[in-house]
């Protein structure tokens, strides 16, 4: 493999070359602008359309019949809380333990294949997670349920937490590990008392990123939790979720329903963006503290 410069075949005048260089730099800047413009347009519209939809009844009432003014999405908020809550409770221990294995114990071929599989699973299409969980959970239980939705989200969240947690565990300096081991601390205790607390904010970051993903996913919930017009707190029954409700209302012809969809979008967007920004701030702080 060649590692060197690839000189051009022929050179033009210096003025022409400088002009060409400036033109290409201009194109790079243009790419930067084109990439971020949609973000402003999207956030702007969601704010404009979503803010008027937010009022007390939006958060306290349940799904209204078509063309009836008022109504809200309380059943969807509670449902999302239930589904994502269970998913987090399952995927955080799985993800953190997998990451601890990869970072602290993982050597050789087994660890390499686990890491590879984690990478691959990160790209699982979300609809496939839904279809898979339908196949093994919904069919077996003869019912759509919040629990099935949580399991579908776990398929997506487990690899996310694994990857991000492993990265933050690797930032923990080896000196700390060696110091603890040299003092005669057993390995499991060293991990529990030194490595995990040191990587703490990094692990929190990983969890927040995964939760943000869970809040926003529609497709897996669609095939597993189904949706529900009423408040449901039984994890074994069909349950509503905010993205699911937006999906249904967006495709309806009733303006009142569409308004509620925008209200759902602004709350969802706010939750996801706040989580992502917090996660970023935390991970920056951790990197500065350790590095």
Partner 1 sequence: MVAAGLIVLLAVVLWTLAQGAAPTFATFGLDFFTGRQWDPVNNVYGALPYIYGTLVTSAIAIALALPVSVGLALLLNEVRSRLVRNPLTVLVDLLAAIPSIVYGLWGLFVMAPFLNKYLAPALAGTLGRLPLLDSLFVPTPAVGNMLNAGIILAIMIVPIITAVSREVIATVPHDLREAALALGATRWESIRMAVLPHARSGIVGATMLGLGRALGETIAVSMLVGNGLGISTSLLSPGYTIPAVIANEFREATSTGLQHSALLALALVLVAISFVLAALSRLLVRRSERMAS
Instruction: Return the residues of window 109-128 that contact partner 1 according to CB under 8 A.
Output: 110-111, 113-114, 116-128
> Considering only residues 191-250, where is the footprint of partner 1 by CB under 8 A?
212, 215-219, 222-223, 226, 243, 246-247, 250
Q: Tell me how far, at minimum, the Cβ of 20 lies from partner 1, in Å.
A: 6
> Considering only residues 14-73, where is the footprint of partner 1 by CB under 8 A?
17-18, 20-21, 23-25, 27-32, 34-36, 38-39, 41-42, 45-46, 49
Please state, in angstroms and as integers, the Cα–Cα distance from residue 223 to each residue in 29, 106, 127, 181, following that order: 42, 36, 8, 49
Q: How many residues bind partner 1 (CB under 8 A)?
A: 91
DSSP bridge pairs for 239: 226
Residues 57, 61, 62, 276: which binds partner 1 (CB under 8 A)?
Answer: 276
Please tell me whether residue 228 adopts helix, strand or coil conformation: coil
Q: Does 94 help bind partner 1 (rule: CB under 8 A)? A: yes
CA distance 119 to 47: 35
Between the two ends of the chain, the Cα-to-Cα distance in Å is 34
> Considering only residues 154-193, where is the footprint of partner 1 by CB under 8 A?
155, 158-159, 162
DSSP code at position 104: I
Q: Does 268 help bind partner 1 (rule: CB under 8 A)? A: yes
Q: Does 5 help bind partner 1 (rule: CB under 8 A)? A: yes
Q: Tell me how far, at minimum, the Cβ of 107 lies from partner 1, in Å.
A: 12
Q: Tell me how far, at minimum, the Cβ of 204 lies from partner 1, in Å.
A: 16
If phi over 0 gives left and psi between -120 and 50 gives alpha, with beta otherwise, what is residue 67?
left
Q: How many CA atoms lie within 13 A of 277 on its CB side?
A: 6
Residues 52, 66, 70, 135: which binds partner 1 (CB under 8 A)?
Answer: 135
Contact 95, 206 (CB under 8 A): yes
Closest to 54 measured CA to CA, from 290, 268, 254, 272: 268
Q: Tell me how far, at minimum, the Cβ of 120 lies from partner 1, in Å.
A: 5
């Amino acid at each position: 493999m060649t590692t060197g410069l690839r000189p051009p075949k022929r050179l033009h005048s210096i003025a022409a070359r400088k002009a060409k260089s400036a033109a290409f730099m201009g194109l790079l800047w243009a790419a930067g602008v084109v990439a971020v413009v949609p973000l402003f347009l999207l956030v702007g519209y969601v704010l404009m359309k979503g803010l008027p939809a937010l009022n007390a009844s939006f958060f306290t009432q349940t799904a209204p019949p078509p063309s009836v003014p008022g109504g809200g999405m309380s059943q969807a908020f509670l449902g999302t809380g239930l589904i994502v809550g269970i998913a987090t409770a399952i995927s955080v221990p799985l993800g953190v333990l997998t990451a601890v294995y990869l970072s602290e114990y993982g050597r050789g071929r087994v660890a390499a294949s686990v890491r590879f599989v984690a990478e691959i699973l990160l790209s699982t299409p979300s609809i496939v997670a839904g279809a898979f969980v339908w196949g093994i959970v919904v069919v077996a239980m003869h019912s759509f349920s919040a629990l099935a939705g949580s399991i579908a989200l776990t398929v997506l969240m487990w690899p996310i937490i694994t990857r991000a947690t492993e990265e933050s565990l690797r930032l923990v300096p080896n000196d700390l590990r060696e110091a603890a081991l040299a003092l005669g601390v057993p390995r499991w205790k060293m991990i529990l008392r030194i490595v995990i607390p040191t990587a703490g904010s990094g692990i929190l970051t990983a969890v927040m990123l995964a939760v943000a993903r869970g809040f926003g996913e529609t497709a897996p919930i669609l095939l597993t939790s189904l949706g529900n017009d009423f408040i449901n707190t039984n994890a074994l029954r069909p349950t509503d979720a905010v993205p699911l409700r937006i999906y249904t209302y967006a495709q309806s012809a009733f303006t009142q329903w569409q308004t509620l969809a925008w209200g759902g979008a602004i709350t969802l967007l706010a939750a996801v963006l706040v989580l992502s920004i917090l996660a970023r701030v935390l991970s920056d702080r951790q990197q500065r503290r350790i590095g």
